[in-house]
Amino acid sequence: MDFELDQEAVALLAAAGAVLDAEATPDLIRAAWPDGGQRLRPAGLEQVRKVWVTLADQGVVGALVGEDDGGLGLDLGHTVPLLERIGYVGLPVPAVETIVYAAPLLAAAGHPALPDMLAGRALVAVGTTTAAGKTLVPHGQQADLVILPEDRASPPEGGLRVFAAGELAWEPVTTVDGARALARLAGPPTDDAGTVLVRGPEAARAAADAAWWRAALGTSAVLVGLAARMLSITIAYVKQRQQFGVPVGSFQAIKHALASAHIAVEFARPAVLAAGWEQARFPADGLAAGPPRATQDAQEAQDATSVAKVLAADAARLAARASIQCHGAIAYTTEYDLHLFAKRAWALIPAYGDPTWHRAHLARGLGLRDATAGATAAAAPQQRAAM
């Protein structure tokens, strides 16, 4: 499989990378964390918004939107490296939800908010219903638009809706990663709230399912970026930290721990790229294709995405553990940059299906029924996304 990017994707990655290197610093992540209470700081949100608008000017938000709708017309295969780069800097915005989940849906529906989203003026968050029946929305406190699970947001005729944030009642929620601005839906939306993106229950389920798989892939790419960043921080540290008159990075135990994590990242990266190209083989919006498992191409794309999510999540978990162990006590302090990326990784590992769920998905495809214990095969796509 050829993973080479075309000229437009290379140019986008270079332009976005320059912005991220210059603007998306650990201090920006800290500015997005709540100050004392659970609510975010307005000044921090404003800083994050400015960076997002700059990225939008480069075409980042419209990467998967067709040129006729104001986007770049790229596919997921060409977008994966960009999402990995966003993960590497830990940008505290719902990038996957806006770029990968929502943008194709809003474009297909001709939604009037699409221009604002492409310009970086509208961030989109996506809700998930927990096993306890609560609807949680990562980045819900900073989003302008929210897409909710169908069971919490179905108009009488059935369909998938998007809401303005002001149409919903929120409660802030404390989470491991404060920069994700987690919110809980305080009550169900009214029947006349929001606008319909996709009408009809079957079409809505197909569209939401396709978007869920896109987001699972996007999250995998972000996790690879986070893992690479944690290793980069740690390698720099063990090169300069002295013990017994030599750098601690010269110790065999340190070398082996970081080498194992590095290998995990390097195995995950091509798997995520491959899943991107597999998903590019069927329509990105999912509306014309019907349920994703209706075609062999779609089934292979789902399986490739599950492989990618498992490997990326495992790599991020291993990188976080090795990085913290190699640093020692300083890694446990909130003043040190490492915790910003480790906590983001821990928050994203269960998002859009944790490794156990995706392993069970692969096992079901192979007919290994015993391997699916503990995973709910019939779970709706949104119910697979844990916080």
| Structure tokens that stand for 295 in this block | 């075609």
What separation in angstroms does the CA of 116 have from each of 52, 85, 106, 383?
12, 23, 11, 29
Residue 110 pLDDT exceeds 90? yes
Phi, psi torsion values for 246, nearest 5 degrees: -135, 160
The candidate with the shortest Cα–Cα distance to 363, out of 354, 352, 355, 372, is 372
How do residues 217-252 score in pLDDT, each as one tens digit?
Answer: 999 999 999 999 999 999 999 898 878 888 776 778
Average pLDDT over residues 290-305: 72
Task: Locate all alpha helices (DSSP H) within 190-295, ordered by sequence.
Answer: 201-240, 252-279
How do residues 2-14 score in pLDDT, each as one tens digit?
Answer: 667 778 888 889 9
How do residues 209-220 score in pLDDT, each as one tens digit?
Answer: 899 999 999 999
Structural contact between residues 302 and 292, judged by C-beta atoms closer than 8 angstroms: yes
Kindly compute the dihedral angle of the four CA atoms of residues 233, 234, 236, 240, in this order, to the nearest 10 degrees: 140
User: How far apart, in whole angstroms, are the C-alpha atoms of residue 39 and residue 368?
Assistant: 45
Cα angle: 67, vertex 71, 74; to 5 degrees:
80
Instruction: Return the minimum-mean-pLDDT range out of 109-113, 207-211, 221-225, 273-277.
Output: 207-211
User: How far apart, in whole angstroms, are the C-alpha atoms of residue 257 and residue 327?
Assistant: 12
Phi, psi torsion values for 308, nearest 5 degrees: -60, -45
CATH 1.20.140.10 fits 201-384, yes or no: yes
Sequence length of the chain is 387
Amino acid in the structure at residue 86 = I
How do residues 339-376 score in pLDDT, each as one tens digit?
Answer: 999 999 999 999 999 999 999 999 988 888 655 555 54
Structural contact between residues 262 and 228, judged by C-beta atoms closer than 8 angstroms: no
CB atoms under 10 Å from CB of 15, counted, come to 16
Does pTM surpass 0.85? yes
pLDDT confidence bin for 118, thresholds 50/70/90: very high
DSSP-derived secondary structure letter, 41: P
pLDDT confidence bin for 43, thresholds 50/70/90: confident
- What proportion of the chain, given as a percentage, has pLDDT over 90? 57
User: How far apart, in whole angstroms, are the C-alpha atoms of residue 154 and residue 144?
Assistant: 20
Phi, psi torsion values for 145, nearest 5 degrees: -130, 145
| Structure tokens that stand for 6 in this block | 């075309």
Average pLDDT over residues 291-305: 74
Instruction: Return the minimum-mean-pLDDT range out of 207-216, 255-264, 294-303, 317-326.
Output: 294-303
Residue 90 Cα to chain centre, angstroms? 11
